[in-house]
Chains A and B, each alone.
Chain A
Amino acid sequence: MRPVALSLTLLLVACGGSAPVRTQYLLRGEAPERTVRVEGAARVGLSRVVVAPYLDQSGIVVESAGREIQAARNHQWAEPLQDGLRLLLRAELSTALGEEVGLDPADRSRWQHDVQVFVEQLHGSMAGRAMLVADYRIESRAKPGEIAEYRFARSQALAREGYAGLVDAEAELVGQLAQAIAASLREIGEAP
């Protein structure tokens, strides 16, 4: 009996140990006052938000050194980054335009403008900055076949250290991207 008891004790000691503490983050902005367009369907829609393959994972990505990327094991997104980006961008764009932005691709045929975003880079750095590089294009129903393409590349200093500060900075960059898209829509002249 004694050897068996000894083995079980060793196994328990081996399997025991403290489990890592994982923190999950939600990419959201400040809850704004929403202006809802009452008549008809949305004029502007966000049909697609696509992230680069290196971002399509649960860990928050940090550029630890030059061209060296590391996804955090204990600091993860609470939802797929692509979905979080889409929801945050739609909210920020609705605020910037002052009207509800459509999100359901089934309504695409009724939108006056269709916005599609392709995120190339969204990560933090050990220099205390967050970076967002994205291409977006706007397709207007009034001009079928004509697609206006734009590029957005900005960085934002982290207001506080750690991954919480990184997530805040990335949300701030997404808000700036929404402002840029709204400005582009106004340039086209069809948006309010």
Chain B
Amino acid sequence: MAEAEARISRPRRRISTIWLVPIVALVLGAWMVIHTLRSQGPEIEIVFSSGASLEADKTKIKFRSVEVGLVESVGLAENLESVVVTARLDKEASPLLREDTQFWVVRPRVGPGGVSGLGTLLSGGYIQLAPGTGEEGRRDFEGLDDPPVTPTGAPGLHFKMVGDHAGSVGGGDPILYEGFRVGRIESAEFDVASQKMHYDAFIEAPYDDLVTSASRFWNASGVTLSATADGIKVRTASLETILIGGVVFGLPEGVKPGGPVEADETFRLYESYASVNEQPYRYNLEYVVRFARSVRGLRPGAPVEYRGIPIGRVERVLLAELVSGGKGLSGKGEPIPVLIRLEPGRFELPDSEEGVATFERVIAVAVGNGLRATLSTGSLITGSLYVSFDMRPDEPAAEIGEFAGHPTLPTVGGGLEGIEVRVTRLLDKLNALPVEDLLDGVDRLLADLDAVVASDATQNLPASLDATLVELRRALDSVSGDSAMQERLLRTMTELDRTLAALRQLLQSLDDQPNAVIFSRDPPADPEPPAGTP
């Protein structure tokens, strides 16, 4: 018999489905948090000098006029000297945040270059983003007070310029080539230490190829007026440069284009085109020439010539270097050192570093062959001096030396020294002349001459002279080719010829017949011409 098996069922504890609600809510919340976090862009901090036109949750950040972020907070920095703006950018805008990304506030501005930002009068200011080309990941930035003149990464040539005077050139001013705007001055600063103006400049591509090592930049502001024998010449760049200033670049007269220019190279900013042509070459060699005589009349800028050809200029007299150490003013006194600059470009060498190196070698060889410097007189009236070079192969051998860190070139005396000696000798001789006695003698001579001229004989001299000339003409006529004397002479000579011919005939007859004088022979009868027919 089968035993019945009892089946006991116990009630199972089951989780209520109501718990699904909070779980789902939790999952959804987490998902939303994660999604929100993942969809948020980066938070950045920008430090501005002023918080003008900046408002939290209102001021936008734009790139190419597209909103890419929003200012979340605006607060003072800890040092209270700037404003810290916290902003959140869109996730898609993250690649724009690079090492050299720039921010500035766009607001209405009025400047020499024009009026900008008028659109923000109604909409309010916003922060403009200009992405750079550096590495990504930067989150802290220094905001610009003014919009950058040149966008970051713009193709072209960045370089620097140094000028003596600020003039009317400032940041944002145009740079012109042949009257066409090809670049701009990015910034201008006055350097207190060097007392010079320093400019950052930019030439846009493809015009950056126009800038070579031989290019010169000059201030084109205003109008240059020059009066010459050819008339009055007016030189202006453009109306824009006249009003707000600007810089023009080009080549000096007679200078060939140089080599390519590296970025951040420094050029000199000349005051005018005229000053460019005064010093047309950029590269030069500095030498010291020492003269054991007075250099009165030798001024900075005085020409340095080789046989009359300008090859450089005098820079300055090295007085400080002369007296340093006290040697310069001891004994008979050291020669006066004069710093000169020789320009290779004047020898049609390249106006570049290579040209300088070549010229340096040429000078070294020339010194060995007798190249010497002389202090010469440029004007006896003003006493101005200049440095003249010439070949003196007879001078003792010399070589390039060194003075105060500069190479020295050998010198010889001459020029004004020799002239002074000769002039002094001439003056001494003039002083020794008995001028008063000489003048008395001249007076007496003139009085005697007056008496002679006033005498009757002298007064009648022209008539006598005229008569003499008439006689002379007659005499000359009598011996001229057509004169009777000549005619008679010719007739006599002709007769003599005939006589000689007859004598020759007689001699020939005697030769044929020696006894012809005694025994004549019968000559042949003359031919008898007959009558003719008409």
Q: Which residues of chain A are within 8 angstroms of B482 by Cβ–Cβ distance?
A: 47, 105-106, 108-109
Given contacts A56-B498, A105-B482, A106-B484, whether A14 and B519 have CB atoms under 8 Å apart is yes
Which of A14, A128, A166 is the one whose CB lies under 8 Å from B533?
A128
Distance in angstroms between the alpha carbons of A133 and B148 in the assembled complex? 112
Q: Which residues of chain B are within 8 angstroms of A74 by Cβ–Cβ distance?
A: 526
A17-B520 in contact (CB<8A): yes
Q: A157 near B: Cβ within 8 Å? A: yes
Q: A161 near B: Cβ within 8 Å? A: yes
Q: A158 near B: Cβ within 8 Å? A: yes
A73-B523 in contact (CB<8A): yes
Contacting residues of chain A (166-181) with chain B, CB-CB under 8 angstroms: 166, 169
Q: B433 near A: Cβ within 8 Å? A: no
Distance in angstroms between the alpha carbons of A116 and B71 in the assembled complex? 126
Q: How many whole Å from B41's CB to the nearest CB in chain A?
A: 111
Q: Which residues of chain A are within 8 angstroms of B531 by Cβ–Cβ distance?
A: 128, 157-161, 165
CB nearest neighbor in A for B483? A106
Most A CB atoms within 10 A — which of B486, B520, B526?
A: B526
Q: Which residues of chain A are within 8 angstroms of B519 by Cβ–Cβ distance?
A: 14
Which of A56, A126, A160 is the one whose CB lies under 8 Å from B527?
A126
CB nearest neighbor in A for B486? A105
Q: A137 near B: Cβ within 8 Å? A: no
Interface size class of B (residues with CB under 8 A): 20 to 34
Distance in angstroms between the alpha carbons of A145 and B533 in the assembled complex? 44
Q: Which residues of chain A are within 8 angstroms of B534 by Cβ–Cβ distance?
A: 157
Q: B477 near A: Cβ within 8 Å? A: yes
Q: Which residues of chain B are within 8 angstroms of A163 by Cβ–Cβ distance?
A: 526, 528-529
B520-A62 in contact (CB<8A): no
Q: Which residues of chain B are within 8 angstroms of A106 by Cβ–Cβ distance?
A: 477, 482-484
Q: B448 near A: Cβ within 8 Å? A: no
Q: How many whole Å from A18's CB to the nearest CB in chain B?
A: 10
Contacting residues of chain A (118-148) with chain B, CB-CB under 8 angstroms: 124-129
Q: Which residues of chain A are within 8 angstroms of B532 by Cβ–Cβ distance?
A: 127-129, 157-158, 169
Which of B484, B494, B520 is the one whose CB lies under 8 Å from A80?
B494
Question: Is the contact region of chain A dominated by helix, strand, or loop, or is it mixed?
Answer: mixed
Contacting residues of chain B (164-208) with chain A, CB-CB under 8 angstroms: none
A72-B523 in contact (CB<8A): no
CB nearest neighbor in A for B478? A106
Q: A75 near B: Cβ within 8 Å? A: yes
CB nearest neighbor in B for A169? B532
Q: Which residues of chain A are within 8 angstroms of B523 by Cβ–Cβ distance?
A: 20, 73
A161-B528 in contact (CB<8A): yes
Q: Which residues of chain A are within 8 angstroms of B530 by Cβ–Cβ distance?
A: 126-128, 158, 161
Given contacts A17-B520, A105-B487, A106-B484, whether A64 and B533 have CB atoms under 8 Å apart is no
A158-B529 in contact (CB<8A): yes
Distance in angstroms between the alpha carbons of A17 and B521 in the assembled complex? 10
A128-B529 in contact (CB<8A): yes
Q: Which residues of chain B are within 8 angstroms of A80 by Cβ–Cβ distance?
A: 494, 498
Q: How many whole Å from B137's CB to the nearest CB in chain A?
A: 106
Q: A57 near B: Cβ within 8 Å? A: yes
Distance in angstroms between the alpha carbons of A56 and B502 in the assembled complex? 12
B529-A62 in contact (CB<8A): yes
Q: A30 near B: Cβ within 8 Å? A: no
Q: Which residues of chain A are within 8 angstroms of B487 by Cβ–Cβ distance?
A: 105
Contacting residues of chain A (51-91) with chain B, CB-CB under 8 angstroms: 56-58, 62, 64, 70, 72-75, 80, 82
Q: A39 near B: Cβ within 8 Å? A: no
Q: B227 near A: Cβ within 8 Å? A: no
B529-A126 in contact (CB<8A): yes
B527-A62 in contact (CB<8A): yes
B529-A70 in contact (CB<8A): no
Q: A33 near B: Cβ within 8 Å? A: no
* B residues adjacent to A (C-beta < 8 A): 477, 481-484, 486-487, 494, 497-498, 501, 518-520, 523, 526-534
Offer 25 A-B interface pairs, CB within 8 angstroms, sorted by A: A14-B519, A56-B494, A62-B527, A62-B529, A73-B523, A74-B526, A75-B526, A80-B498, A105-B483, A105-B487, A106-B483, A109-B482, A126-B527, A126-B530, A128-B530, A128-B531, A128-B533, A157-B532, A157-B534, A160-B531, A161-B531, A162-B528, A163-B529, A165-B529, A169-B532
Nearest 10 A-B pairs (CB), nearest first? Answer: A128-B532, A157-B532, A105-B482, A72-B526, A161-B531, A157-B534, A124-B529, A158-B532, A128-B530, A64-B527
